[in-house]
Structure 1
């Protein structure tokens, strides 16, 4: 696989589109292929707002790293994200696995690709931008979101442009897209030239993914009225505030790893208010590999806990990289009493207090309270906002 240095991507982007100027939609020439392909779903004279969305004042993390979101770039990214032409047999798009109705995840344990099913469960893409962690995939093998975006395209199973063992290559994809009228027009609209490259695809896709944000949850309503995350929120029920306190408060353990006082300390790894994963986290003790008896200890990343469930409380799909957990109760059962595998040399030390697998010693009411709190992290707009929806006619 060809690796492109991230700095090169940023320099390329900034040389083509000013990183310091807002988009100018005046005097846009005619783009007949865009109009024919997308109708009213994309209006180049009145683009959707990706660049200037409201972000709460208490949100401080941002891993954009120079590839500033623009309305033009994210619009192109949206088309690429939903276009099945990005797969070798024209049947799979990024959105086939990352579905808006499921917080850009999948209800299946493994998603369907062009040559089988994925090796890991599809990660949610909510608030990807708002995290300290700058590496991507469950095992963090991609150093930036930009470089991550085209790896599924170049995966034999997922989208089929691996360039290996008879597969077409990413160059073949670029040539394929270059012959599509609406891409000639979109790339000219965004970059000033119809030339298509992998680097330009990466920049646009990353902008679209980073634009997907969710800050209209019950938690956000309460946090906006409160000085910090620890204080009780005025809009929360008593159980939700108790669950929040348990989540936010570190536990005290005895010599054998049993919790004696305090909360359950989820915040140590899932940092509020973004609820992203601590970049220094190691694995969480779930080692299973889909379709294999092998043990996997390299999975150390996780998506934000935001929108882990829909507004109605139903999960947006199974949890963990192996999809082995199907309820929030199961999550708390797993962390409540950690079983430490002898061969797991990469277990997060926060899960083994005093050398023992932690025993959070939670009662049923505490578990119910934490679950109530986790459900407050779900918004509603992200599931229905047209700017993140399929731009192609149904």
Structure 2
């Protein structure tokens, strides 16, 4: 058997091994775990994600959420939409280090990809308590530090009135919530908006990359360089697979078959070590920002690597421009900043995870690892009309007189 095929089997087998470790997860009764009326647009081998009983996904809510996701009227001043920071051609990121909100506030963190968000155990860079999309969506809509959409008690009725005036929403809301007489006008209107947005994001599935085709049996789907890079990725020398494993390419995963009962993973990769005291720049201190515990300084959720070649710049603050730089930081065992306000040797960070150790790697090997990471791009996902802007040719998006 070829070495690259052995690596694939090792990669998938490791996932099963880790998911089956004692006390690491609860096995869910499979009855109903793989049954859904919703078309998830994904292969049968992917377990269905967990969805809350109070907001079961439907095609009608998905389509309503898609319209809301791309609607700039869902902001205080009509200047941004969810798609402003989550653009389809960039795997629903935005290509900048840190995005700006409706009033110009700069967000302290890099926009994350929304692909396969339904499988994530936690939904932000550093908050372990945000575990459902319905919770998370409230923050960009109504949050004040930083201001993103800028919706507040003072302007929410005005924002809602703009949506109510659009003919398309009359049909979409009634279709999504047929049990309600006036789902866009009653006291549940904002709940309905949040649930629909969550349904759209939950339905964003991306499992159609060259790597997926290779693991499904197409031996020609990966180049020789990508296969070499895959072997390196799964090697004990580089140890990438410890945080980026399985069908989601992240260790922060749950699905209907297994629900982990251990804390969600957060890792310190030695990106900063300001003044040699293991500090990260405020307010971007990771899990520590919520807990205040010194041991949580610099802990961030491991990101999925699906479509990673499209989501630069990298890390929680967008401070690393290229995949090559990311690999070099890991090869060094952390990042050493020799000047500037955040100078420090991340390699010496006391909170750094023990698997972040230096390793040797050649330029050719870096190119191979990048070739593998590029094979994780799902080109169908970033061009699929199902996830695209539905307002482009819709007269009902015209400004209200």
Instruction: Check whether TM > 0.5.
Output: yes
1:367 aligned partner: 366
Alignment of 1:232-381 (within 5 A): 233-249=219-235, 251=236, 263-278=237-252, 279-287=264-272, 296-298=285-287, 299-309=299-309, 315-339=310-334, 341=346, 346-351=351-356, 358-381=357-380
Mapped partners of 1:276, 1:138: distance in 2 = 13
1:13 aligned partner: none
Mapped partners of 1:154, 1:236: distance in 2 = 44
Checking the alignment, whether the CA contact within 8 Å between 2:142 and 2:149 is kept in structure 1 is yes
Note the residue ranges of structure 2 that are not aligned, 5 or more in a row. Answer: 1-34, 253-263, 275-280, 288-298, 335-344, 394-401
Q: CA deviation at 1:139?
A: 1.4
Q: Are 1:391 and 2:385 counterparts? A: no
Checking the alignment, whether the CA contact within 8 Å between 1:120 and 1:321 is kept in structure 2 is yes
Checking the alignment, whether the CA contact within 8 Å between 2:210 and 2:376 is kept in structure 1 is yes
Q: CA deviation at 1:179?
A: 4.8
Q: CA deviation at 1:92?
A: 0.5
Mapped partners of 2:175, 2:206: distance in 1 = 28
Q: Are 1:190 and 2:190 counterparts? A: no
The correspondence for 1:91, drawn from 69, 79, 97, is: 79
Q: CA deviation at 1:126?
A: 1.4
Q: CA deviation at 1:383?
A: 1.6
Mapped partners of 1:96, 1:301: distance in 2 = 23
Provide closer, same or farther for how the CA distance between residues 285 and 152 of structure 1 changes in structure 2, counting only shifts above 3 A.
Answer: same
The correspondence for 1:124, drawn from 113, 117, 130, is: 113
1:161 aligned partner: 151
Question: Over residues 181-215 of structure 1, what are the superposed CA-to-partner deviations in whole Å (9 max), with x where a residue is unaligned?
Answer: 43333222111222343322222111111211222
Q: CA deviation at 1:349?
A: 3.3
Checking the alignment, whether the CA contact within 8 Å between 2:273 and 2:346 is kept in structure 1 is no
Checking the alignment, whether the CA contact within 8 Å between 2:228 and 2:368 is kept in structure 1 is yes
Provide closer, same or farther for how the CA distance between residues 63 and 319 of structure 1 changes in structure 2, counting only shifts above 3 A.
Answer: farther
1:205 aligned partner: 197
Q: CA deviation at 1:295?
A: 5.8
Q: Are 1:100 and 2:92 counterparts? A: no
Provide closer, same or farther for how the CA distance between residues 370 and 159 of structure 1 changes in structure 2, counting only shifts above 3 A.
Answer: same
Checking the alignment, whether the CA contact within 8 Å between 1:269 and 1:281 is kept in structure 2 is no
Provide closer, same or farther for how the CA distance between residues 203 and 59 of structure 1 changes in structure 2, counting only shifts above 3 A.
Answer: same
SS at match of 1:86: coil
Question: Over residues 322-352 of structure 1, what are the superposed CA-to-partner deviations in whole Å (9 max), with x where a residue is unaligned?
Answer: 111111110101111123649956533322x
**Which range moves more in the overlay, 137-146 or 264-273?**
137-146
Q: CA deviation at 1:177?
A: 3.4
Checking the alignment, whether the CA contact within 8 Å between 1:82 and 1:95 is kept in structure 2 is yes
Checking the alignment, whether the CA contact within 8 Å between 1:126 and 1:303 is kept in structure 2 is no
Provide closer, same or farther for how the CA distance between residues 54 and 82 of structure 1 changes in structure 2, counting only shifts above 3 A.
Answer: closer
Provide closer, same or farther for how the CA distance between residues 235 and 181 of structure 1 changes in structure 2, counting only shifts above 3 A.
Answer: closer
Provide closer, same or farther for how the CA distance between residues 182 and 346 of structure 1 changes in structure 2, counting only shifts above 3 A.
Answer: farther
Provide closer, same or farther for how the CA distance between residues 242 and 86 of structure 1 changes in structure 2, counting only shifts above 3 A.
Answer: same
Cα RMSD over matched residues? 2.8
TM-score by length of 1: 0.71
TM-score by length of 2: 0.70
Mapped partners of 1:63, 1:21: distance in 2 = 11
Checking the alignment, whether the CA contact within 8 Å between 2:75 and 2:81 is kept in structure 1 is yes
Question: Over residues 107-143 of structure 1, what are the superposed CA-to-partner deviations in whole Å (9 max), with x where a residue is unaligned?
Answer: 12222321113221111111212x3x32211113523
Q: CA deviation at 1:265?
A: 1.5
Question: Over residues 239-281 of structure 1, what are the superposed CA-to-partner deviations in whole Å (9 max), with x where a residue is unaligned?
Answer: 22121111123x2xxxxxxxxxxx3111110112221243323
**Number of aligned pairs?**
311
Q: CA deviation at 1:237?
A: 2.7
